[in-house]
Structure 1
């Protein structure tokens, strides 16, 4: 699987998690997906139990996961959040 997300998609999902999710300990959680920033707000993190996405300056991003199936499930969760919340 090719790990490419449009920067607008990542930012939209992050904002939807922030707007509709539960706030706890400087992070927001929605449907099992957690979103937060680093101390200065330049790097965003979106993660579930198996995959971590860090998205930063100049739209650079990095995924951390062990199996392709985990990434596929993570992408499905993000697309579901994007489609389900206005």
Structure 2
């Protein structure tokens, strides 16, 4: 996959989930996207639709998924969060 995700927008989606979501064991969930962070807050995670997205220091990210349709579904959910 080409490097076409905007880390600032991904962090904005993370903030939306954290502000509007319901508590889970690891973080909060909203509209099918779960958001969580590590103990120091330098690494944040978004997951859903079989995808896990890790956003690290200096706006680096790693998107893990098994099939392209999972990635597409996840990114549609992220877009929906940002468009609301």
TM-score, structure 1 normalization: 0.90
Query: Deviation at 1:39?
Result: 1.3
Tell me the number of residue pairs that the alignment of Structure 1 and Structure 2 aligns: 84
Distance 1:78 1:61 in 2: 15
Alignment of 1:1-86 (within 5 A): 2=2, 4-84=4-84
**Structure 1: 5+ residue stretches without partners:** none
Structure 1 residue runs of 4+, over 3 Å off?
none
Distance 1:61 1:76 in 2: 18
CA RMSD of aligned residues (A): 1.3
Cα-to-partner distance string for 1:13-37 (whole Å, 9 max, x where unaligned): 0000011110222401001110000
Q: Secondary structure at the match of 1:52?
A: strand
**Structure 2: 5+ residue stretches without partners:** none
